C-alpha cells in the first residue's frame, strides 16, 4: 500500500507538471473589459462594433423582475440590435438548462450570448456553447481539461455578484440532479469574449449573498496562490484580489450602497478569476462541488466554510505562501509560521463577522465516504495542490464539517 501510494503521488505530480508547462502554449489574454459605474450601457455599442446582430440573453427570472436588465434592453434597442431572453437559469445550472439554451440559440439563429447574472447564467451560457459546438458529445465526457477543441460562440458576461469570476475564467460548472453530481469543464475555448464590471448592478445584493460570494472570490485567490502552478501574473492577481476583499467586503456587506466597495469587489473577483483559471483551485472546490451536487449547498457558502479547514490540513507546507498573503492584507508577525496562522485566524474572523457558519448543516455522516471519493476523483491528479490528500484524510476533514 505504501509503495502504491508513492507511485500514485508521483503520477499526480507528473500529470500536474505536464499541464503546467503545457499551459504556456495557450493564449491567456484576458477578456475585453468594460468597467465602472454605468459601463453596462456601453455593451450594446461594443457588440455592434464587433459585428454581431442577434444576442441571446441568458439570465434568471429574479433579475428580470428586479428590473436590472431594463437598461440593457433599452440600450440594445437603441443600437438596433435584436435579442431574445432565456430567463429560466437555475441557481446551479443543469444539463437540461444547457440543452434548452443551446436549442433556443440555434433555432433563432443567434450569433452571441449575453450572460447576465451570477456565476449560474455565465456557466449556463458556456455550457450551452459547448452543446452547440460539440452536440454529439455529452457534457460529462468533457469533464476535466482540454476536451473541447472548438471555439464556442462569443459570450459577453455581465456579473451581478462579486464572487465566481466566471466572466474571466476558462471553466464552467454544470449539475446533473439525477446523479447528484456537479462537475467542472476547463478549456481556453470557454473564456468569455468580454466582461462588464458595473457596480450599479450589485447594489441590491443581499448581505448574505454579498458575503458568501465575496469569500468565494477569496477562495479562488487563496487556492490559486498556494497551489503549485502559479506564474508571476497569477500571483499578482491573487494578492491584489485578497487585499481588495479584506479591505472592501465588510463595507460592502454593512453598507450595500457603497459604490466604491462594490466596484472594488467586482475587480477583486475578476482578478481572482484570472488567477485561478490558469493556476487552478484545490480541495476546497472539489469538496464544495460535491456538497453542491449532493445537497444543493450554494457554492460560495460551501467554499467559505471549507477554506479554513483545508488550509489547516496543508499545515506548514503553505506557511510561506500564506505569510505573503498575510503581509498583503496588512497583518504582522515575526516569521512565516506566525503570519500564516494570523491569516487563517483573520479568515475565520472574517467568516464570523459576515455570519458565515463553520459547519455544513445539510451534511450527513453516512454520505461522507462517497463524498470524499467523488471529491478526490475530481481533484486528483488535476489540481496542483500543495499537499495530496487520501481517502481517509478527506473523510476526516469532512467529519469536521458535520453539524453539532
Q: What is the pLDDT of residues 112-153, one digit of tens each?
A: 999 999 999 999 999 999 999 999 999 999 998 888 889 999
pLDDT at position 4 is 53
CATH number for the segment(s) 31-202: 3.40.50.1970
pTM summary value? 0.93
Per-residue pLDDT tens digits for 70-121: 999 999 999 999 999 999 999 889 999 999 999 999 999 999 999 999 999 9
Considering the chain, tell me which residue range(s) the CATH 3.40.50.1970 domain(s) occupy: 31-202
Cell of 158: 455581465
Q: What is the mean pLDDT of residues 343-357?
A: 98
Among 100, 142, 90, 143, which residue's Cα sits nearest to residue 120? 90
Question: Do 88 and 128 contact (CB within 8 A), yes or no?
Answer: no
pLDDT in tens, 327-346: 999 999 999 999 999 999 99
Rounded Cα gap, residues 295 and 75, in angstroms: 40
Residue range(s) occupied by CATH 1.20.1090.10 in the chain: 2-24+205-399
Mean pLDDT in residue range 259-277: 97
Euclidean distance between the first and final Cα of the chain, in Å?
34
pLDDT single digits (tens) 36-82: 999 999 999 999 999 999 999 999 999 999 999 999 999 999 999 99
Residue 3 pLDDT more than 80?
no
Q: Write the secondary structure of 284-295 as one string of H (helix), E (strand) and C (coil).
A: HHHHHHHHHHHH
Long-range contacts of 100-103 (CB under 8 A, 24+ apart): 101/56, 101/58, 101/125, 101/127, 101/128, 101/131, 102/128, 102/129, 102/131, 102/132, 102/135
Instruction: Determine contact, residues 160/63, Cβ cutoff 8 Å.
Output: yes
Fold of the domain spanning 2-24+205-399: Dehydroquinate synthase-like, alpha domain (1.20.1090)
Amino acid at each position: 500500500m505504501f509503495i502504491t501510494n508513492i507511485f500514485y503521488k508521483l503520477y499526480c505530480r507528473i500529470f500536474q507538471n505536464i499541464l503546467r508547462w503545457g499551459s504556456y502554449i495557450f493564449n491567456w489574454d484576458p477578456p475585453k473589459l468594460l468597467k465602472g459605474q454605468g459601463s453596462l450601457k456601453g455593451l450594446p455599442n461594443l457588440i455592434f462594433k464587433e459585428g454581431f446582430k442577434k444576442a441571446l440573453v441568458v439570465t434568471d427570472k429574479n433579475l428580470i423582475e428586479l428590473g436590472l436588465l431594463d437598461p440593457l434592453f433599452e440600450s440594445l434597442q437603441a443600437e438596433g440590435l435584436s435579442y431574445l431572453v432565456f430567463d429560466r437559469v437555475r441557481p446551479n445550472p443543469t444539463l437540461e438548462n444547457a440543452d434548452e439554451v443551446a436549442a433556443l440559440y440555434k433555432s433563432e439563429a443567434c450569433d452571441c450570448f449575453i450572460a447576465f447574472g451570477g456565476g449560474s447564467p455565465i456557466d449556463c451560457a458556456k455550457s450551452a456553447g459547448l452543446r452547440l459546438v460539440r452536440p454529439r458529445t455529452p457534457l460529462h465526457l468533457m469533464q476535466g481539461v482540454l476536451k473541447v477543441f472548438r471555439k464556442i460562440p462569443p459570450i459577453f458576461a455581465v456579473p451581478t455578484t462579486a464572487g465566481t469570476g466566471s466572466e474571466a475564467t476558462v471553466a464552467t460548472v454544470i449539475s446533473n440532479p439525477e446523479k447528484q453530481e456537479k462537475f467542472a469543464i476547463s478549456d481556453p475555448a470557454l473564456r468569455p469574449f468580454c466582461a462588464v464590471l458595473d457596480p450599479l448592478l450589485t447594489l441590491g445584493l443581499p448581505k448574505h449573498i454579498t458575503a458568501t460570494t465575496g469569500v468565494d472570490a477569496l477562495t479562488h485567490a487563496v487556492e490559486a496562490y498556494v497551489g503549485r502552478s502559479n506564474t508571476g501574473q497569477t500571483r499578482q492577481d491573487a494578492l491584489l484580489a485578497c487585499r481588495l476583499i479584506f479591505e472592501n467586503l465588510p463595507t460592502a456587506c454593512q453598507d450595500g450602497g457603497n459604490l466604491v466597495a462594490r466596484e472594488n469587489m467586482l475587480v477583486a473577483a475578476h482578478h481572482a478569476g484570472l488567477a485561478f483559471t490558469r493556476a487552478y483551485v484545490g480541495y476546497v472546490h472539489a469538496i464544495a462541488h460535491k456538497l453542491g451536487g449532493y445537497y444543493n449547498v450554494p457554492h460560495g457558502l460551501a467554499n467559505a466554510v471549507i477554506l479554513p479547514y483545508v488550509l489547516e490540513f496543508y499545515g506548514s507546507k503553505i506557511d510561506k505562501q500564506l505569510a505573503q498573503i498575510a503581509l498583503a492584507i496588512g497583518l504582522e508577525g515575526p516569521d512565516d509560521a506566525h503570519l500564516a496562522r494570523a491569516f487563517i485566524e483573520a479568515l475565520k474572523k472574517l467568516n464570523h463577522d459576515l455570519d458565515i457558519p463553520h459547519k455544513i448543516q445539510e451534511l450527513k455522516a453516512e454520505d461522507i465516504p462517497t463524498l470524499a471519493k467523488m471529491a478526490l476523483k475530481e481533484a486528483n491528479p488535476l489540481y496542483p495542490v500543495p499537499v495530496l490528500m487520501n481517502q481517509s484524510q478527506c473523510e476526516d476533514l469532512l467529519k469536521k464539517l458535520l453539524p453539532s
